[in-house]
């Protein structure tokens, strides 16, 4: 009953709009003092020190800083202009180009908000001007933006690894193929829909794409090669065992600043804005990390981990039935709690369950992360929808965005199912990683 009240208090606090960090800390303080006593403060101090001394979490501000510089370097604009010319002649070509740009931008930033807003400001007006279906255009941008939370270097993976006791480098590599799988599913959907219904994604007029092939190739090379070098510098150094994740993040920061300088966007104002945005987001994440560790300490001290474990392991299902129950629970929680809260609250509880069922830990972790992508598109608290709503013109209604994301939620569930049916999609690259 105590554990039930603790969880109800947590969910109620978040549901009524209180900041997640303060809800976690408040519940930990109240239940800790009542049922453990003043000694709980000693445990809180140890947990605070543990989080602050976690070397891997140092990669969080570094990747955020890198992402801000990539956003301000003009890379997305150059990518869009080149792919706009190359794919605009196809039915649904602008939508396909938007997904490709989103994937490349995700691999260079690891942040959903920055990717979606930057790409949305360019792609949405272009698609609406060409007569694209409003709902499809909005859904494409929302779904493309969520790739930033999965395709490495993802901030979610950096946070997830230490909590679950897993190698962030292996999680990075394990996320590559699931991310590409979702990209392919989105592209196939857009191509098929626009083939059946050409009016949803008409091609560009021949006169608009009448640009010399030499110029098209120049635009493509100058826009794709720099981010490709940046991505290889970060992920390649991890894959080949040259650098740890935090060191690779530092390499990414230097490379992103060099890229901004090459595009003549490296200014004192840019550095100032990058520092401020990084400080704000990092402070939020680490505040939740600290208070979540307080909550977990009290929860475990009261036997909550055993209650949750027994609840799932005693379900009248096979291990696959239990897995699908966990996936369903995460989809439901994703409608009301952001990914940060779910990772810090739920992951420490369900990771031992996955181990008890004999699942590969990297595979199980990536299934959860693929699942958490869905939370960005499922109302009422669908952050991807809110990001886009803030930049849409008046003719776009919120209902247009909701209708647009529904097919992509289905595609994300299909991608999750394929990762369950074919574990090698996740495990192949981590198994090749150099020790």
Give the start-to-end residue ranges of the domains of the chain.
54-432
SS3 310: helix
Average pLDDT, stretch 101-115? Answer: 74
Q: What is the pLDDT of residue 244?
A: 80
Note the pLDDT tens digit of each residue in 186-242: 999 999 999 999 999 888 777 766 777 777 777 777 777 777 787 787 878 877 778
**DSSP code at position 266:** -
State both tokens at 59.
């990669």
- The yes-or-no verdict on residue 174 having pLDDT over 90 is yes
Q: What is the pLDDT of residue 113?
A: 67
Confidence of residue 114 (pLDDT cuts 50, 70, 90): low
Nearest CA to 293 out of 38, 57, 58 is that of 57
Q: What is the pLDDT of residue 188?
A: 95
Give burial (CB, 10 Å; 0-12/13-18/19+) of 423.
Answer: middle
Average pLDDT, the chain: 84
Phi, psi of 330 (to 5 degrees): -65, -40
Q: What is the pLDDT of residue 419?
A: 95
Q: What is the pLDDT of residue 433?
A: 67
Single pTM value for the model: 0.81
């Amino acid at each position: 009953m105590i554990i039930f009240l603790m969880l109800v208090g947590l969910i109620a606090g978040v549901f009524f709009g209180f900041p997640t960090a303060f809800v976690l800390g408040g519940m930990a303080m109240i239940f800790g003092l009542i049922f453990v006593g003043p000694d709980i403060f000693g445990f809180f101090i140890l947990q605070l020190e543990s989080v602050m001394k976690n070397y891997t979490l140092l990669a969080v501000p570094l990747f955020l800083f890198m992402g801000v510089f990539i956003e301000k370097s003009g890379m997305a604009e150059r990518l869009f202009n080149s792919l706009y010319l190359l794919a605009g002649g196809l039915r649904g070509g602008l939508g396909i180009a938007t997904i490709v740009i989103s994937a490349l931008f995700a691999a260079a930033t690891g942040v959903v908000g920055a990717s979606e807003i930057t790409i949305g400001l360019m792609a949405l007006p272009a698609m609406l001007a060409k007569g694209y279906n409003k709902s499809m255009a909005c859904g494409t941008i929302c779904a493309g933006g969520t790739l930033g939370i999965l395709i490495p270097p993802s901030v979610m993976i950096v946070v997830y690894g230490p909590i679950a006791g897993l190698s962030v480098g292996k999680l990075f590599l394990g996320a590559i193929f699931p991310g590409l799988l979702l990209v392919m599913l989105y592209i196939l959907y857009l191509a098929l829909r626009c083939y059946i219904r050409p009016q949803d994604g008409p091609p560009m007029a021949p006169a608009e794409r009448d640009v010399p092939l030499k110029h098209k190739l120049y635009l493509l090379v100058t826009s794709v090669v720099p981010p490709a070098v940046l991505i290889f510098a970060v992920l390649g150094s991890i894959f080949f065992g040259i650098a740890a994740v935090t060191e690779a993040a530092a390499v990414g920061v230097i490379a992103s600043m060099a890229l901004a300088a090459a595009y003549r966007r490296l200014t004192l104002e840019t550095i100032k804005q990058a520092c401020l945005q990084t400080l704000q987001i990092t402070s939020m994440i680490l505040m939740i990390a600290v208070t979540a560790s307080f909550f977990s300490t009290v929860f475990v001290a009261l036997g909550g981990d055993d209650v949750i474990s027994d609840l799932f392991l005693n379900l009248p299902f096979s291990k696959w039935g239990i897995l699908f129950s966990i996936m369903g629970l995460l989809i439901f929680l994703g409608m009301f709690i952001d990914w940060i809260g779910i990772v810090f609250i739920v992951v420490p509880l369900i990771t031992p369950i996955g181990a008890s069922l004999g699942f590969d830990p990297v595979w199980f972790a990536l299934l959860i992360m693929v699942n958490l992508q869905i939370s960005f598109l499922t109302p009422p608290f669908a952050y991807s929808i809110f990001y886009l709503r803030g930049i849409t013109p008046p003719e776009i209604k919120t209902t247009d965005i909701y209708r647009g994301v529904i097919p992509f939620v289905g595609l994300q569930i299909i991608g999750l199912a394929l990762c369950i049916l074919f574990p090698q999609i996740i495990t192949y690259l981590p198994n090749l990683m150099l020790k």
